Structure 1
Amino acid sequence: MAITRSRYRTATSAGTFVAFLLVLIFGSPAYVDWARSADRGIFLETLAWPAWSFDSDASVRDLLGADLKAILLVAFTALFISLLAGAQLASARGTLSAILTGWAAYMFAAALAAFVTSFLLPHGSLGQATVNAAAGAGYALIVGWIIGLATMAGRRP
Structure 2
Amino acid sequence: MAVTRTRRRSATGVGTLVAFLLVLVFGSPIFVDWVNHNTRPDTAGGLFLRTLAWPAWSFNSDMPVRDLLAQDLKAILFIVFVAVFLTMLAGAELSRARGTLADLFSGWGAVIFAAALAGFLTAFLSVHAGLYTALVWALGGAAYGLITGWIIALAQMGTRRP
The answer to whether 1:122 aligns with 2:127 is yes
Report sequence identity in percent: 61
Aligned residues: 154
Aligned-residue offset at 1:153: 2.1
Matched, 1:25 2:25: yes
Q: Please list every run of 5 or more consecutive structure 2 residues that lacks an aligned counterpart in the other structure.
A: none
Cα offsets for 1:88-141 (capped at 9, x unmatched): 244422111111111100001000000000000112111221121111101111
Cα distance in 2 between the residues matched to 1:98 and 1:141: 15
Task: Give the 5 Å matches for 1:1-157.
Answer: 7-39=7-39, 41=45, 42-157=47-162
Tell me the C-alpha RMSD between the 2 structures.
1.7
The TM-score, its normalising length taken from structure 2, stands at 0.88
Q: Distance in 1 between matches of 2:5 and 2:82?
A: 24
AA in 2 matched with 1:8: R
Contact 1:111 1:136 in 2 (8 A): yes
Deviation, 1:58, is: 2.5
Counterpart code for 1:67: D
Determine the C-alpha separation between the residues in 2 that align with 1:153 and 1:85: 13
State the secondary structure of the residue aligned to 1:22. Answer: helix
